[in-house]
Structure 1
Amino acid sequence: MNQHDSDTDTSVRGRITARLSAEKQRVLQLAAELSGSTINQFIVQAALKAAEDVFAQEEAFRTIRLTAEESERFVALLESPPKPNDALKRAMDKFRKQHLGHVYSTP
C-alpha cells in the first residue's frame, strides 16, 4: 500500500487526546448520555460540527454574492473607475503619512 492509499483508507484511524478537569469530563459524560451516545462519539460529533461551522464562516468571508445588476455595475466600475474625489485623496494622504512615514502629493 502506498502513502496515497493510506490517506484514503477509512480503516486507518487517528487518535486525539485531551486533558480536562474532572468537572468538565462529568459535564461531557452527562451530555453524551443524554444524547444517547458514548463520550467519544459525543466529542467527535461536537468537534466535527464546530469544524463545519468554522468552514462555513470562512466561506462566507471569502465569497461575495452579487445580483446580475450588481455584477454588471462592478465590472463597469473596474473597466472605467471614477476619478478620486477630495475625500479619497485626503484619506490616501493620511494613510501614506501614517503608514509610510511621508506624503506623496495626490494629483
Structure 2
Amino acid sequence: MGTAAAKQDRIGARVPHEVYETLCRAAELTGATVNQFLVQAALKEAQEVIEREEVIRLSPRDWNWLLDLTENPPKPNAKLKAAMKRYRKARRDDAGTAFNWEP
C-alpha cells in the first residue's frame, strides 16, 4: 500500500526590491533558501500570534483565585437570576422547550 503525498499549497508575494534583497541576505546567512526562510519566519510569527490570542496566562495567585471561584461559585444574586430568566425566554427552540437552569 503506497503512501499519499502530503497536500501542499502555494503562497506568493510581491515585495519592493530592497525587501527582497534583505530577505535573500538573511536566508543566505541562515543557510536556507529564500522560500525556506520565508516559510520558517512566517510560521514562527503565525504560531506566536495564535498563542498570544488564544492562550490565557495567569499568575499562580490568579490561577488559585479562578480555581477557587470555579469550585466554590457564589450563590446567584437577583441580577443573575433575572438574566437567566431572560436567557431561557430567548433560547426557546423549535419544539418550544428551553434551557432549564435553576439556581
Describe the superposition over 1:49-73 as per-residue Cα deviations: whole angstroms up to 9, x where unpaired: 2222221222234433222221222
| Number of positions where the alignment pairs a residue of Structure 1 with one of Structure 2 | 89
Name stretches of at least 5 consecutive residues in structure 1 with no aligned partner: 4-13
Q: Which has the higher contact order (CA 8 A, sep 6+)?
A: 2
1:53 aligns with 2:64: no
Structure 2 equivalent of residue 94 of structure 1: 86
Aligned CA RMSD, in angstroms, stands at 3.7
SS at match of 1:75: helix
- Measured at CA, do residues 79 and 48 of structure 1 come closer, stay the same or move farther in structure 2, by a change above 3 Å? same
More helix, by proportion? 1
Q: Indicate how the Cα distance of structure 1 residues 55 and 99 shifts in structure 2: closer, same or farther if over 3 A, else same.
A: farther
Q: Is the 8 A contact 1:93 1:103 kept in 2?
A: no
TM-score (norm 1): 0.52
Match of 1:84 in 2: 76
Is contact 1:93–1:106 with CA below 8 Å preserved after alignment? no
| CA separation of 1:33 and 1:63: change in aligned 2, threshold 3 A | closer
Structure 1 segments, 4+ long, off by >6 Å, are none
Q: Is the 8 A contact 2:88 2:99 kept in 1?
A: yes
Q: Could you list the runs of 5+ residues in structure 2 that have no partner in the other structure?
A: none
Between the aligned partners of 2:83 and 2:101, the Cα distance in structure 1 is: 12
